[in-house]
Amino acid sequence: MIGQQTLDSVMKELSKFRRFSHHPDCKYHHNHLVRINGHPICLGCFCIYSGMLFGILLLLVFDWWAKHWLLFSFFGLCSFSLPFILVSTQIRSIKMLGRFSLGVGIIVYLGTTLYYPPLTPELLLFRLGAVIVFSIAYNGALIYKKGRNNPC
């Protein structure tokens, strides 16, 4: 019954993960989790999505983004770059700040570069460049993440 053994091993592997957490609830990943009512949730995802929500609220509430979009696109670029600078730290509060900053930065950078600039040919090239910069950063993060060790 090779099929049953394979299914059993897959189910055993999947049982390490709890709902809303793509990290196993084990001693190796305790610093990757936040616990809400005792339920482990991925620290990175929780902070990134919270930051994205905050970034959306910032873009919707304040109208000065439209006037100073270039300045705030730079702020967004710096904000989503912060976790790459802090990547090796395991200090929980700094990890949370970095992930929250990443979420805010993604929304502010993409929102201020794609939505607010006037529709001129030069700024269409700027938009394309902004998407290329974001794609490079995103793919660089994925490549870096694949190269990291997973102790479980």
Task: Give tens-digit pLDDT for 53-93.
Answer: 999 998 888 776 667 777 888 888 888 777 777 767 777 88
Q: Is the pTM of this model over 0.75?
A: no
Distances, alpha carbon 93 to alpha carbons 28, 33, 135, in Å:
18, 12, 27
Task: Give tens-digit pLDDT for 10-29.
Answer: 555 555 555 555 666 666 66
Answer whether residue 149 shows pLDDT above 70. Answer: no
Q: Residue 42 pairs with which residues in a beta bridge?
A: 33
Residue 133 class from Cβ within 10 Å (0-12 exposed, 13-18 middle, 19+ buried)? middle
Average pLDDT estimate for 94-102: 87
Task: Give tens-digit pLDDT for 67-78.
Answer: 777 788 888 888
> Which residues, other chains included, contact 92 with Cβ-Cβ below 8 Å and sequence gap of 6+?
31, 43
Q: Indicate the DSSP class of residue 40.
A: E
How far apart are the C-alpha atoms of 65 and 70, rounded to whole Å? 9
Predicted local distance difference test score (pLDDT) of residue 8: 56
Task: Give tens-digit pLDDT for 110-136.
Answer: 888 888 777 888 888 888 988 898 888
